[in-house]
Amino acid sequence: MNILHWFRNDLRLDDHRVLSALPADTSTLLCVVVLDDRWDAVHRLNFPRIGPYRKSFVLQSLRTLHSDLSARGNQLLVVRGSPGEVICSLATAHNIDLVTFEREPTSEEMDHEADVVRRCTSMGIKVASYDERTMIHVEDLPFPLHDLPSVFTSFRTSVERSLTIRNPRPACTALPRPPESLYDESQHSFDLVDLSAEFIQYADYQTPGIDVLPLDRLFDYTFGRQLAASYKETRNGLLGTDYSTRFSPYLSVGSLSPRRIYHTIRDFEHNVIANTSTYWIIFELLWRDFFRFRASIMGRRLFLSGGERGTRTSWKHDHQLFDKWKFGRTGQPFIDANMNELRQTGWMSNRGRQNVASYLTKTLGIDWRWGASWFESQLVDYDCPSNWGNWQYVAGVGADPREHRVFSLERQAAMYDPQGEYVLRWGERWG
C-alpha cells in the first residue's frame, strides 16, 4: 500500500498516530506539508496574517521534522498551493492508495479537509483522518461532545473524576521510502518550497526560550531543572523564559504531544514530587482541551462579533486607537510594555495577554476580533481555538456567563510588576 500523510499541526514523530503505527503492508510513504494561501496573505486590517516570528518557528519546526524523517529513510515535501489540489494531484501522480491527516475543529481548516476528501474520493483514493490534538481523546470524554459544558469549571470537574489520557506511542525507528516517482523530474509541476532558503528570510526572528527541541524543553522543565515543581508560584511571571512552561509554541504546531506532556508530568510526580504546581500544569492543559472541544461545537460562531452567546455589543472600529494599542502607544505603561514585547519577540505572558485583551475590549471598546487577528499575526504560539476562545472569554462574549471581569491595570501592574522592571525592560524605548 502507498500512503500519503498530509502533515498539518502534527509536526512530530513522537506519539504520531499514523507514523507510529503504519500498516505492515505499507510499501511507500509520501510526507507532505502544504503552505496554503494564508502563508503570504495580508489581513484586511493590513498586516500579515502570519507574522515573522510565527513563520520563523514554523519553518524551524518543518526543518526539524524533515531531518527526523530523513534519519529514518524518508523526507518532507513542502509545497505551496491549495491543500485540496496539491494533495490530490500528488496522490494521483504517485499512485497513492490512502491519504491520512489529523483533523482540526475550525472552519478554514475544515474547508481544506472537505476539499481534500472530496477530490481524493472522487479519484478512488481512500482517506483516513484522526482526532489527535487534544490531551483527552474525544472518545474518552465522560459525556457526548454535544453535551460539553459551556463553563470550564463544570468541564474540568467532570473530566477529572475519571481522567483517562491515552499512552503516547514511541516514535518509529525506520520508515518506508517515498515513492520512486518522486525523483522523476517530469513529475515536478508543483511549487516546491526550499526550506533552507525560506528560513533564511526569517532567521533573525527567533523568540527567546524556544530555541531547543520540544522533548528537550519538556525534559528540562521537568526532570532537568525541575521547574515544574514551582510552576504555580512562577506562572504569573513576566520576565525571563522560565516562569511558565513555554510548551505552547510546540503544541501549536504539534511538535510536542499533549499526551507526552501529561505522562511526563505524571512520571515526574511519581519520581520527584507531586504538588499543586504539577497539578496546575495539567489543569492549564485542560483549558486548552476545553477551548478545542468548544471550537468544534461553535463552528463559525468562534469568529462572530457576538461570540458563542450571540451577545449584542456595539464594538468600536477606530483604526487610530487600535494602532496605538498594536504599537504600544496607549500611554498605559503596563499595556504598552506587553504590546512591545509581543511585536519584538512574538511572545507575551498569559498575564499580559489577559490585560491587553481586557484593555482593548473593555476600556477602549474595540472589536475583540481585531485584537484576536493581531494576536493571530504576532503570536509565535498562535493556536486558533485557544486564541479566539480566550479572546471571546475576555471580551465577555463566550459561553461562560461569569466572564465580566475588568482588570484594574494599576492593581495588576502593582501585583505582577511591583518594581516596574518589566515596564522598564519593554517600555517606551521599544515603542
Ligand X SMILES: Cc1cc2nc3c(=O)[nH]c(=O)nc-3n(C[C@H](O)[C@H](O)[C@H](O)COP(=O)(O)OP(=O)(O)OC[C@H]3O[C@@H](n4cnc5c(N)ncnc54)[C@H](O)[C@@H]3O)c2cc1C
Contacts to ligand X by CB under 6 A:
235, 244-248, 251-252, 281, 284-285, 287-288, 291, 350, 353-354, 357, 375, 379, 381-383, 386-387, 390-391, 394
> What does the alpha-carbon distance between residue 101 and residue 129 come to, in Å, rounded to a whole number?
5
Give the DSSP letter of residue 431. Answer: -
Residues in CB range of 65: below 8 A, 6 or more apart: 7, 11, 12, 13, 76, 255
Q: Which residue has the cell 504531544?
A: 257
Which cell numbers in the block locate residue 90?
Answer: 500528488
Least separation in angstroms between residue 291's CB and ligand X is 5
Residue type, 168: P
- Least separation in angstroms between residue 43's CB and ligand X is 15
Nearer to ligand X, 68 or 289 (CB): 289
Q: What is the nearest approach in angstroms of ligand X to the Cβ of residue 191?
A: 28
CB 346 within 8 A of CB 377: no
**Least spacing, CB of residue 390 vs ligand X, in Å:** 3
* Residue closer to ligand X (CB basis): 97 or 403: 403
Which CB, 176 or 258, lies closer to ligand X?
258
- Residue among 334 and 375 whose Cβ is closer to ligand X: 375
Least separation in angstroms between residue 245's CB and ligand X is 3
Are the C-beta atoms of residues 294 and 391 closer than 8 Å to each other?
no
Smaller CB distance to ligand X: residue 261 or 423? 261
Q: How many helices (H) and strands (E) does the chain have?
A: 17, 6
Quickly list DSSP for 321-369.
HHHHHHTT-SS-HHHHHHHHHHHHHS---HHHHHHHHHIIIIIS-B-HH
Shortest separation between residue 280's beta carbon and ligand X, angstroms: 8
Residue 406, all three cell numbers: 475588568
Q: With respect to ligand X, which residue has the nearer C-beta, 6 or 290?
A: 290
Cβ proximity to ligand X: between 2 and 358 the closer is 358
CB of 243 to ligand X, least distance (A): 8
- The residue whose grid cell reads 460539553 is 148
Rounded alpha-carbon distances, angstroms, from residue 290 to 159, 294, 316, 341, 349: 10, 6, 29, 28, 20
